[in-house]
Amino acid sequence: MTRQEILEELKKVISPYTTNKEMLAEINDQTDLIKDLKINSANLVDIIIDAEAKYDIEIDYDVADKMMVVGTCIDVISERISQKL
Amino acid sequence: MISTGNDVVSLNAIDITRTKLPNFYSKILSTPESVLYNEAVAAALPFENFVWLLWSIKESAYKYLQRINPELIFTPVMVVGDQLQVPPAYTPTAFGKNELSGAGFRDLPTFDTTVTFGQDVIYSKSLVYTDIIVTVVHSNKNFEDTFWGIKWIDDTDNENQSAAVRAFLLDNLHKLCGLDNITISKNKNAIPVLLIESEETDIPVSLSHHEHFVAYSFQHF
């Protein structure tokens, strides 16, 4: 998957946890899930679990800090997908 | 080490089925904490509430320590709650559409833990109702200089939550400590700070909101 394809899928993963749909449509590598999309920290585990299911990967919480910013989120997902191949 | 950290979890907003899944709770609980549940907590709390109690403790501890070390990375399983004490004769009740504030937790039925994150050791006190869990952490076991508050709000919009918790804090800073002309801002690390007439104070504050609940803590001597 390309980074753009992962980004588009990631928007669907994040969507249930943010009410800021306008900003969600325009997220980029610098977008912070908590500060910009106002996602409650209690939902970060949900996002990780949903991303695991969506891409059939495993994400340890020791990389969870990287799951707080869209760009590094894509890095983690991309890395895990490539490890499957 | 002067800091503060708090967290509130609205139990009506959690997914109970999901919380019970190993691939979910294993991202929050360390192995010793999973054992701790069966040994010490199962009679008092359902498992899903235990998971969110530990989340609340870990989030509070992270906020406390991040104020001191802004580069700190939050890894919940590395923040370990230990020596959990269940309040005697604990009977869960609903918090409801109320507000509650105080300094210290004397005579309140708190769940207490010792929290370790790397070399740091701090202490937590949590109030566990049927609808919310609220935690405050402190550097020692005496919380008498720790002020805290919890409040139900009607409007769960993020901007309203943010405004409501700030108004609640400012109101109680005035009522409880006689502090006026205060504004709340965030420093360059996005950590909330109190300003008196535009000058940053050394009063650490922590803010939290989840669904219909807002909560704060601060240290004042």
Backbone phi, then psi, for B10, in 5-degree steps? -85, 115
pLDDT at B66 over 80: yes
A48 touches chain B (CB under 8 A): yes
Q: Looking at beta carbons, which residues of chain A come within 8 Å of B75?
A: 61-62, 64-65
Q: What is the pLDDT of residues B128-155, one digit of tens each?
A: 999 999 999 999 999 999 999 999 999 9
* CB-based contact B24 A42, cutoff 8 Å: no
Identify the pLDDT of residue B216. Answer: 98
pLDDT in tens, B167-184: 999 999 999 889 889 999
Amino acid at B54: L
| pLDDT for residue A63 | 73
pLDDT of residue A68: 85
pLDDT classification of A1: cutoffs 50, 70, 90: confident
Contact B137, B60 (CB under 8 A): yes
Query: The CATH number of the domain where A7 resides is what?
Result: 1.10.1200.10
- The ipTM is 0.84
| Structural domain of A50 | 1-82
pLDDT at B198 over 90: no
- Provide the whole-model pTM: 0.93
Cα dihedral B200, B134, A18, A9 in deg (nearest 10): 110
Q: How far B92 CA sits from the closest chain A CA (Å)?
A: 22
Q: Report the number of distinct structural domains present in chain A.
A: 1
Residues of A with Cβ-Cβ distance to B158 under 8 angstroms:
19-20, 38
